Amino acid sequence: MVLALVFAGLQSGCLHPPAGDPARVGPFFTPPNYSGDASLGGIRRVVVLPAWVGEGTRPESAAELDGVFLTALQQEKRFEVVAISRAECLRRFRAEAFSSATALPNDLFAFLQREYAADAVLFIDVTVYQPYKPITLGLRSKLAAIDGSRLIWTFDNQFSAENPAAANGARHRLLERDRSVPADLTGIVLQSPSKFAGYAAAAMFATLPPVVAPVAVVTK
């Protein structure tokens, strides 16, 4: 009986970490370098291109990151998401991905609008990818109107598991997604490139403009 009570107490302690645990209370990293319109306006459907990862990243890692980014974006539910595969991009444009910072094919936007009835296109650049400790991920992203008239949103930040606030944010997201995970086990997110990328992607897309602009409150 005594052993059973001790085991139950230890189990309870693991499942209910202290309220002051940094994974619960922070401080959390707030990405500073982004800008965007007050709202998405008439943006209803967005084509997401494969992430540009530069040289030196294994193809399987690039494909895994594509899936991580797509999942995080869909969870935001800001607009309908249409993803183009690397194979389709290569077949149509002879390149698996495009950096938002380089010249683009002249017919890229016209093709996406014609084939997918898209209102905008989303570029994702992985500017830094360090999948070993401390995991570091640099993300640059741009949401451009399909007619090429303007950038609706831009983002450029770096996430590092070595940054305590980013580490807290990554652990907090794991707790929020699965409340059965003990806080003392949330450190796994700081050791898994895909899990940490999921946190970084969620933090990035959380800065997208809202569907409808916030209503200004006038005080007298």
- At 31-87, the pLDDT tens digits run 999 999 999 999 999 999 999 998 778 888 899 999 999 999 999 999 999 999 999
Domain assignment present for residue 156? The answer is: yes
* Residue 94 falls inside a structural domain: yes
Tens of pLDDT, residue by residue over 86-120, are: 999 999 999 999 999 999 998 999 999 999 999 99
Q: Is residue 127 part of a domain?
A: yes
pLDDT of residue 60: 87
Residue 52 bridge partners (DSSP): 125
CA distance 90 to 92: 6
Q: 187 lies in a domain?
A: no
Residue 81's domain comprises 33-160+198-205
| Residue 1 pLDDT | 42
Beta-carbon contacts of residue 64 (< 8 Å; ≥ 6 apart): 194
| Domain membership flag for residue 86 | yes
Q: How many CB atoms lie within 10 A of CB 72?
A: 19
Using the predicted structure, report yes or no on whether residue 16 has a pLDDT greater than 60.
no
| CA angle (162 as vertex; 161, 163 as ends), nearest 5 | 90
Q: Does 120 map to a domain?
A: yes
At position 139, the amino acid (one-letter code) is L
| Pairwise CA distance, residues 95 & 88, whole Å | 9
Q: Is residue 73 part of a domain?
A: yes
Domain count for the chain, please give it. 1
Partnered with residue 157 across adjacent β-strands are: 139
Buried b (16+ CB within 10 A) or exposed e, 5-28: eeeeeeeeeeeebeeebbbbeeeb
CATH of the domain at 73: 3.40.50
In whole angstroms, what is the distance from residue 197 CA to residue 32 CA? Answer: 18
- Model-level pTM? 0.87
In a domain, 119, yes or no: yes
Sheet containing 120-130: order of strands: 34-36, 151-160, 136-145, 120-130, 45-48, 80-83
